[in-house]
Amino acid sequence: MNRRGWGLGLVLIALTALAGVLALSVGSTGWSGPQAWGADPLAWQIAWEVRAPRSMGAWLAGALLALSGALAQGVFRNPLADPYLLGSSSGAALGVAACLAWLGVGPASADVWVRLGVSGAAFLGSVMAVALTLVLARGVQHTLRLLLAGVVVGVVLGALSALTMLMVPDITRAMQAFMLGTTGFIGWPAVGTMAPVLVVCLLLALGGSRALDAMSLGDAAASSLGVSVTWARWVLVLVLSAATGTAVAQAGLISFVGLVAPHLVRSVVSVTHGALMVLSCLAGGLLLLLADVLARWLIAPQELPVGVLTAVLGGSYLLWRMNRSSGGLT
Amino acid sequence: MKSRWMTRWACLLAALLLASVGGGAHALEVRDDRGVTSRWATPPQRIVTLLPSLTETVCDLGACDRIVGVDRHSNHPASVQKLTKLGGLDDANVELIVSLRPDVVLLGVSARVIDRLEALGLKVVALEPRTQDDVRRVVQKVGAVLGRVAESERLARRIDAEVDAAAAMVPKAARGWRVYYEVDSAPYAAGTSSFIGYTLQRLSQDNVVPASLGPFPRLNPEYVVRADPYLIMVGARSAPGLPHRPGWDRIRAVRDGRICVFTPSQVDVLSRPGPRMGEAARIMLACLQQQVARQTGAGS
Amino acid sequence: MSRAPILHGRIQRVRHGRQTVLSDVDLRIEPACWTAIVGPNGAGKSTLLRCLAGLQSMVGEVSLGGRPIGAWPGRERGRTLAWLGQAEQGADDLRASDVVMLGRLPHQPWLAPPSPADHAAVERAMLATQSWAWRERPMGQLSGGERQRVLLARALAVEADVLLMDEPLSHLDPPHQADWLQIVRELVVAGRTVVSVLHELNVALMADRLVVMQQGRVLHHGPCDDPLCHDAVREVFEQRVRLHQLDGQWVALPVL
């Protein structure tokens, strides 16, 4: 990683630390900084039990989504790729819709769904949608076929979840909250699930990052350099699905983070995929953490959907950078 | 000559008088929640309703036989289940509605089909009850549309009376409890200013969500933890994960198991601001009585 | 045949959809020699080169150094045979030096960082193609010629025994075409093998051996200054080129 890359990494870590302090101080009463904790024992407990896991969960979910986005953009050589392009968003939505529709209705079905939970249903739905896409595209050989299959699966499953919402209107509000992203209920168990997944996925992504670099010159060039393109694509698609599924299961369908975090990194430095993975994780985590803080702060004690804020924050920064370098934009 | 001039004037006067009396007796005029006024010469005989609470209101005012089509969620009273189903607020079947040739379409303000229906020449009355004042006003407006003003007054009074009756039976031990009513698991709560909040207030319950936050705010879950309600009311769909939410295990209601879980059909009654509000009050009363019985039964 | 061929392709058929692109090709590439492949558009030159590199699905066999190319482990093959494709797109966000470093991939253990030998090879390659000056710039900011020189450096950095290049001179102006010629000559002297598909007939005629293709078949394969070779060239271009000698070099001019 070159010097600018290290510099960006340090800046992102520093900003994340700042955002972390902010996150612990902002809640349903607006700002209540660390000095309040000493006075009020409840405040300290709330900060630890409610705000800390939520903030850490937001950071982890943002990092997972950004990692997926960077992988998707590398595997498909498409700067508009995002974590959901293989149908995982519609699959997760369908899983959640099915779970909500059956939850609390009838004793037998309730048991399965309660055990699974909304998070489990979202993860399962997401992973199964990607599996369906891989089956329809008959493997990862042709990226175009994979993309088209992903679109088809996304549209069909999306229609099915819309149908479920129409048939069981009680779940509409809860589904809306899921679709716009929600970090409100992330607790320590969720953090405990996401952290190891992030570590494993990041390590695997780093392992495949050289292959991604080679593949950016084309399948033929990569093949001639001894890279097994099919094998690399399989592993990376599975990693990106696992990362996306985990993030979506805990935080809902947060859009834009996965798409924009790698671009934010690339607008500052030119790095190989290995460094891009790490820096994207840092950028994505920071973005979602800031969005979560603002979602809690702006209309406390009410809450804005965090997906709206990621779009506003990420999009504004990207527009600003594009304007600044509009002369040199290729 | 003078007599012919006088006769002419007399005829003109008589005609004018007749016209005004005739027009005044038969013209119905209703201004809906969007500010749009609709007029009918005679009370509408063919009615389409796309909001379950409006369906129930129309039926309660004795005009159930005039309804020709309802939305898919209207299921009370049982007679409307046999009517033509027209979809929901977002995807109403415009063609089917038009083919039923309704004289009026009653629906919520947020329906997407309003423009389309009005463009096709149908008369649309959009009503959206969210607070208790809204409920009274909506009942009166529906009564005006149906030409059943007196019945609508009776209905409004009956709703109040039923809620009062339920309020009178609230056990002493349950008065003044802090309650959190969860409408949906985002979490959306029913605030003091909503019609649900009104009922809770009449039942001497203290809502953790003040009126300043609006009728149905989407809360930061931390708020509920801080507010530490004594009792939680929630529908069966949102209930399963509730005690496991981070930090919620320190809420009194969760620790002591004071959570009233309503079945989906009960949730239907509770969430429709219409003639069944009295029944809704009774459901909430049953919850309170049950919780009091648990407490005294446990001997704590 | 004086020496054993380092690359031997026996290709029966290559199809793209319904169209047969190559048929009945038996090509022996001699080691330590520069072979140029020429022919009109659609003759199948690029496809032939891809087959020799083992990158094309086909009916037939290709052997590299006596072994079937499929039997070579990926990295070993990558170290022995380097490939430069036609108008390679992509990698706009990588810096030029990172792209050239990719050429060292077959030499690097899986997760190892680049070694000093790798850095030295990259520097040598970039200096040879005169692209060292902009090694820190991202590929997306380079002009066509600059980009081509970086991609060339990538192929050179592999330091493979066999170098297969498809249209290596695209976007290159005459001075840099001359540089390329120099590099190829030096490689051949050092004992490496170069096979290039060239549109520029004048440059191709400076090769050691020429493969003349027409409609998916090899019409002629032999030394460049052979009159039979020139006849074949004139034939595939429908007698619309004239070949003249100028200062000891053959040049091809279009017939007006």
Is B261 close to A184, i.e. CB distance below 8 A?
Answer: no
Domain span at C18: 7-91+160-254
**pLDDT(B297) > 50:** yes
Domain span at B285: 170-298
| Domain assignment of residue C107, yes or no | no
Number of structural domains (chain B) is: 2
Q: Which residues of chain B make contact with A109, given a CB cutoff of 8 A?
A: none
Phi then psi for residue C25, to 5 deg, are -110, 130
| Domain assignment of residue C149, yes or no | no
B24 vs B106, higher pLDDT:
B106
Which of A212, A266, A270 to mutate to test binding with chain C, by most C CBs within 10 Å of its CB? A270
**pLDDT(B12) > 70:** no
Number of structural domains (chain C) is: 1
| Domain assignment of residue C181, yes or no | yes
**pLDDT(A42) > 80:** no
Which residue of A206, A217, A225 is in closest CB contact with C90? A217
| Domain assignment of residue B227, yes or no | yes
Pairing type for strands C209-214 and C193-197 reads: unpaired
**pLDDT(A190) > 70:** yes
My answer on whether B125 and B42 are in the same domain is yes
| Domain assignment of residue B285, yes or no | yes
Percent of chain B with pLDDT over 90: 31
The chain-wide mean pLDDT, for chain B, equals 86
DSSP string for C107-122: GS-TTPPPPHHHHHHH
Q: Considering only alpha carbons, which residue of chain B is nearest residue A251?
A: B186
| pLDDT band of B162, cuts 50, 70, 90 | very high
| Domain assignment of residue C155, yes or no | no
Q: How far apart are CA B288 and CA B258, in angstroms?
A: 10
**pLDDT(B86) > 90:** no
| Domain assignment of residue C115, yes or no | no
Q: How far apart are CA A245 and CA B118, in angstroms?
A: 45
pLDDT per position as a tens digit, C89-133:
888 889 999 999 999 999 998 878 889 999 999 999 999 999 999
Is A303 close to B218, i.e. CB distance below 8 A?
Answer: yes
Domain CATH for C78: 3.40.50.300
User: Six-digit token pair at A139?
Assistant: 């493997």
Which residue of C76, C88, C106 is in closest CB contact with A217? C88
**pLDDT(B108) > 60:** yes
Q: Does C100 touch chain A (CB under 8 A)?
A: no
The chain-wide mean pLDDT, for chain A, equals 87
Is A51 close to B222, i.e. CB distance below 8 A?
Answer: yes
Q: Which residues of chain B make contact with A182, given a CB cutoff of 8 A?
A: 186
| Number of alpha carbons in the 13 Å side-chain half-sphere of residue C157 | 34
Q: Which residues of chain A make contact with C107, given a CB cutoff of 8 A?
A: none
**Section B40-57 average pLDDT:** 90
Q: How far apart are CA C203 and CA C194, in angstroms?
A: 14
Q: Considering only alpha carbons, which residue of chain A is nearest residue B262?
A: A104
My answer on whether B111 and B181 are in the same domain is no
Neighbours of chain A (3+ CB pairs under 8 A): B, C
Is C78 close to A228, i.e. CB distance below 8 A?
Answer: no
| Domain assignment of residue B18, yes or no | no
Among residues 34-93 of chain B, which lie with CB inside 8 Å of chain A?
72-73, 88, 91
pLDDT per position as a tens digit, A267-282:
888 889 999 999 999 9
Q: Does C32 touch chain A (CB under 8 A)?
A: no
Alpha helices by DSSP H, listed for chain B, are 2-26, 52-60, 94-99, 114-119, 132-146, 149-168, 195-202, 221-227, 252-255, 264-270, 277-298
Sequence-distant (≥ 6) Cβ neighbours of residue C166 within 8 angstroms: C45, C46, C49, C50, C84, C85, C86, C196, C197
My answer on whether B208 and B137 are in the same domain is no
Task: Give the residue carrying structure tokens 């509730």.
Answer: B242
Q: Which of B132, B147, B162 is the last residue of a domain?
A: B147
Which of B74, B85, B181, B185 to mutate to test binding with chain A, by most A CBs within 10 Å of its CB? B185
Query: Between chain C and chain B, are at least 3 CB pairs below 8 A?
Result: no
Q: Considering only alpha carbons, which residue of chain A is nearest residue C74?
A: A226
| Domain assignment of residue C145, yes or no | no
| Domain assignment of residue C152, yes or no | no
Is C77 close to A226, i.e. CB distance below 8 A?
Answer: yes
| Domain assignment of residue B234, yes or no | yes
Is B237 close to A171, i.e. CB distance below 8 A?
Answer: yes
Q: Considering only alpha carbons, which residue of chain C is nearest residue A274?
A: C111
Q: What pLDDT is stored for residue B1 in this prediction?
A: 53
Domain CATH for B216: 3.40.50.1980
| Domain assignment of residue B8, yes or no | no
Selection from A311, A312, A192 nearest residue A253 by Cα: A311
Burial of A328 (0-12, 13-18, 19+ CB in 10 A): exposed
| Domain assignment of residue B160, yes or no | no
Is A221 close to C78, i.e. CB distance below 8 A?
Answer: no
pLDDT per position as a tens digit, C49-103:
999 998 988 889 999 988 898 899 988 999 999 999 988 888 888 999 999 999 9
**pLDDT(A158) > 90:** yes
| Domain assignment of residue B48, yes or no | yes
My answer on whether B258 and B225 are in the same domain is yes
| Domain assignment of residue C136, yes or no | no
Amino acid identity of residue B177, one-letter, is: W
Of the candidate ranges A216-220, B17-21, B220-224, B283-287, the one whose mean pLDDT is the lowest: B17-21
Is A104 close to B264, i.e. CB distance below 8 A?
Answer: yes
My answer on whether B242 and B131 are in the same domain is no
Q: What pLDDT is stored for residue A303 in this prediction?
A: 86
Q: Which residues of chain C make contact with A221, given a CB cutoff of 8 A?
A: 83-85, 88
Q: Which domains does chain A have, with CATH numbers?
A: 3-324 (1.10.3470.10)
Q: B26 to chain A, minimum CA–CA distance in Å?
A: 40
Q: What pLDDT is stored for residue B22 in this prediction?
A: 47
Is B185 close to A174, i.e. CB distance below 8 A?
Answer: yes
Q: Which residues of chain A make contact with B185, given a CB cutoff of 8 A?
A: 174, 177
Q: What ipTM was predicted for this assembly?
A: 0.88
Q: How far apart are CA C141 and CA B1, in angstroms?
A: 104
How far is residue A83 from each of residues A67, A121, A132, A261, measured CA to CA in Å? 8, 18, 16, 11
My answer on whether B195 and B291 are in the same domain is yes
| Domain assignment of residue B9, yes or no | no
My answer on whether B31 and B142 are in the same domain is yes
Sequence-distant (≥ 6) Cβ neighbours of residue B177 within 8 angstroms: B205, B206, B230, B231, B288
